[in-house]
Chains A and B, each alone.
Chain A
Amino acid sequence: MKTRREVLQGMIVSIGGASMLTACAGVASVIPTDQPQGSRFYSADELALVSRLADLIIPRTDTPGALDVNVPGFLDSLMADWANADTQRAHHQYLGQITSNLSSSFVTLPEGAAIPLLEQFDKEAYSGSGDHRGYRALKGLITQAYFASEDGALQEQEWVAIPGRWDPCVEIA
């Protein structure tokens, strides 16, 4: 398996954006400089944000993470092909709100700073106070996209195409 950094780098290269990855150990963050040519919906900044969030929400563990299965690219296509103009507009707005809620430099923060910041924000978003529809919608899409991927379904979720039998009560070891 490639390192997460290699995956992210490969993705940025494949979509053609001039970019760089910070060299800090264990950190993969993106500094985009212009519109990624391969991206159909997201701006370079947006793609960087979605990539960073996807990586922090569903990181690589002993199974592939959201970047390994290209969740950002999947969502870029989803928004280009599935969403109507209203949904697209709202999605752009949501990303702007998330950026301003977190920090304009969020995508460049090292992991040690980004994780506590996002954890706090995520906690708020599910506390019932404030309007966090945008973040919750994006997190839902990232999660669904991940588990709809082959690796997410088969490796992480252990999805079985043909269970072949019904066991109504399984003891969890």
Chain B
Amino acid sequence: MTDFDAIVVGSGMSGGWSAKELAERGLKVLVLERGGEIVPQRDFTDQVPPWKQPNLDRIAQDEVSKHYFKQYPGVSYAVKETTKHLWVKDDEHPYEEAQGTKYDWLRGYHTGGRSIMWARQSYRLGPQDFEANKLDGHGVDWPVRYDDISKWYDHVETFAGISGNRDGLSQLPDGQFQPAFDLTCAEKEFKARVETQFPNRNVIPARVAHITKATDEQKSLGRTNCQVRNRCQHGCTFKAYFSSNNATLPAAMRTDNCTVIHNAIVKSVEYDAQTKRVTGVNVVDSKTNETFFYSSKIIFLNASAIATAMILMQSKSETFPNGLANSSDQVGRNLMDHVSGANASGLISGFENKTIFGRRPGGIYIPRYANITENDKPYLRGFGFQGTAVPVGNGRGQIAGIGKDFKESHGTPGPWQVGISAFGEQLPNPNNRVTLHPSKTDKWGNPIAVFNVKYGDNEHTMLQEARKDAIAMLEAAGCTNVNAAPVDLTAPGNRIHEMGSARMGRDPASSVLNGWNQAHDIPNLFVTDGAFMTSAACQNPSLSYMAFSARAANYAADLLAAGDL
């Protein structure tokens, strides 16, 4: 008799989905969260008005130096005085970077993880993404194709609430969308001009995980339409954007089948060589240092790509001396992110007597065209652009003038500016790794992570080309004052899309998981956070983590019901 039917390690983007689906299938589920509990009424600060935010919402500089020296430079737009409790203190959660490399490991340890702080862009992978590795030989072939996952995208979109247009693009398939946030008048003009000059490119409204037409299911969870406040980085008491806290965990809890334990750091997963099954997890309480063992029939690792790989590597046994489910030696390898650093902006005229109302999430998206609709590129794969065309307003006092005119200029919309920024695909490379430090440990005795990740020639070439493309599109759209800084690649990890560290594949000798997110080596062990990603594609990945988590959880429940675990 086990303590639970299933243990889910991690309560974030993917763990919430694993918990919800397993609990709704009737399994008794334990969710282990390494951080503290988020109580929205206490911990969400979205209702705090600007004048109640101390010091312009800036964290004291000495405090940044002491506690947030990685988190703040990495994601300064979101790490604020009233949100700092959602980000880890770097001095308490150290890691190392191999000489000559840099890695931004940007995290929050608490209920819901980074599903509270994510940017909410939600795109399906397309058929080409599942075929890319096979086609060009980088990485291993995905063991799934788009048609295998399509209905699970439907499933998660319907529940989560994704606003978007049905754009009819094969490389960025449409889904179960709620109404999109309409393009601004300048964005419509930009779209028309770009699509005329570049018939193989498209400009579409961003697809974001914000409710715009709440369903009965969403209302039953207390969720409402987006109020267009742009307070998302503070949490959302309207539960309008998707997070574990707002959606999946409440759905899991209302089944009465789900238990969440906080401050529970998983040290290792226990393996029984006799039954060839995992049996449970060893946990240390982060507050008391007490240790616990919880047993279950199924284990889902949803600790995030890096932490999941580390838990596997920490779980050594006679059968798995290099770490659990690691007979392929691929755990911790092929670590990927998206790469940015190619941006351009310019002014677009003709809208001087117009402005906008509301603070919308998202803006425009230019789906990948490279090596899909345009095949003349000096690099493999491609990138998408995220952007906006909005009035720039008066930037924080940085214009000439004093007195009444200066003061009142802040109430005028100012010129309209188009800005676009590339998100490129990083090729899988087994030498891009996270490993366990041989001797250094954190304060709970767990080895700290060591990163050794570098971008390759393809990423560098791609971003140079992306910059040229961005400038060309802005100029074609008639923008003036076009400005594009030299390409400066973001550090690996900086896009906070880390993935690939326990990849799926067809061959157990070269991959960790099969096409059901199930460990090749161990049938009752599943990994459905970003670790499973066989390639990165260029789309923001959270929606795919959701879809694969839901699919794997239902598959696991099927196997359990059939007595096959």
Give A residues with C-beta under 8 Å from B. Answer: 56-59, 61, 65, 77-78, 81-84, 87, 115, 118-119, 122-123, 125-127, 136, 139-145, 147-150, 153, 156-159, 161-172
| Stretch in B49-57, B67-75, B105-113, B429-437 with 4+ CB within 8 Å of A | B49-57
Give residues 158-212 of B contacting A (CB, 8 Å): 181-185, 187
Residues on B with C-beta less than 8 A from A127 are 400
Are B56 and A59 touching (Cβ within 8 A)? no
Task: Give 5 new A-B contacts, CB below 8 A, not counting A83-B61, A167-B356, A169-B184.
Answer: A57-B403, A122-B400, A126-B400, A163-B358, A168-B185
Q: Is B355 located at the chain interface by the 8 A CB criterion? A: yes
Query: Which listed residue, A58, A150, A163, touches B229 by the CB 8 Å rule?
Result: A163
Complex: A48 Cα to B56 Cα, angstroms: 22
Closest residue to A63 on the B side, CB-wise? Answer: B407
Are B402 and A119 touching (Cβ within 8 A)? yes
Query: Which listed residue, B60, B184, B228, B396, touches A143 by the CB 8 Å rule?
Result: B396
Q: Which of A148, A159, A168 has the most CB of B within 10 A?
A: A168
Question: Can you list 8 A-B pairs with a CB-CB distance of less than 8 A?
Answer: A65-B407, A126-B400, A139-B398, A149-B51, A153-B51, A156-B407, A168-B185, A172-B354
Q: What's the nearest-Cβ distance from chain A to residue B484, in Å?
A: 20
Query: Which listed residue, B54, B182, B356, B408, touches A61 by the CB 8 Å rule?
Result: B408
Query: Which listed residue, A82, A136, A141, A153, touches B60 by the CB 8 Å rule?
Result: A82
Q: What's the nearest-Cβ distance from chain B to residue A97, in Å?
A: 18
Give B residues with C-beta under 8 Å from A. Answer: 49-51, 53-56, 58-62, 65, 181-185, 187, 227-229, 353-360, 396-404, 406-408, 410-411, 413
Knowing A81-B54, A166-B357, say if A161 contacts B229 (CB, 8 Å): yes
Residues on B with C-beta less than 8 A from A81 are 54-55, 60
Complex: A143 Cα to B406 Cα, angstroms: 10
Closest residue to A66 on the B side, CB-wise? Answer: B407
Q: Which of B354, B360, B397, B406 has the most CB of A within 10 A?
A: B397
Are B397 and A150 touching (Cβ within 8 A)? no
Are B56 and A167 touching (Cβ within 8 A)? no
Query: Which listed residue, B49, B58, B60, touches A161 by the CB 8 Å rule?
Result: B49
Are A144 and B396 touching (Cβ within 8 A)? yes
Are A61 and B354 touching (Cβ within 8 A)? no
Are B353 and A167 touching (Cβ within 8 A)? no
Are B55 and A77 touching (Cβ within 8 A)? yes
Q: What's the nearest-Cβ distance from chain A to residue B462, in Å?
A: 31
Closest residue to B390 on the A side, CB-wise? Answer: A168
Complex: A89 Cα to B398 Cα, angstroms: 22
Are A126 and B355 touching (Cβ within 8 A)? no
Complex: A65 Cα to B408 Cα, angstroms: 11
Are A164 and B397 touching (Cβ within 8 A)? no
Knowing A158-B411, A166-B182, A166-B228, say if A171 contacts B353 (CB, 8 Å): yes
Q: Which of B62, B183, B187 has the most CB of A within 10 A?
A: B62
Q: Which of A78, A123, A144, A148 has the most CB of B within 10 A?
A: A148
Complex: A166 Cα to B388 Cα, angstroms: 14
Residues on A with C-beta less than 8 A from B182 are 166, 168
Q: What's the nearest-Cβ distance from chain B to residue A75, in Å?
A: 10
Are B403 and A59 touching (Cβ within 8 A)? yes
Are A153 and B50 touching (Cβ within 8 A)? yes
Complex: A83 Cα to B396 Cα, angstroms: 19
Are B61 and A87 touching (Cβ within 8 A)? yes
Query: Which listed residue, B62, B228, B353, touches A172 by the CB 8 Å rule?
Result: B353
Are A142 and B184 touching (Cβ within 8 A)? no
Q: What's the nearest-Cβ distance from chain B to residue A138, in Å?
A: 9
Are B227 and A126 touching (Cβ within 8 A)? no
Q: What's the nearest-Cβ distance from chain B to residue A60, in Å?
A: 9
Complex: A171 Cα to B402 Cα, angstroms: 27
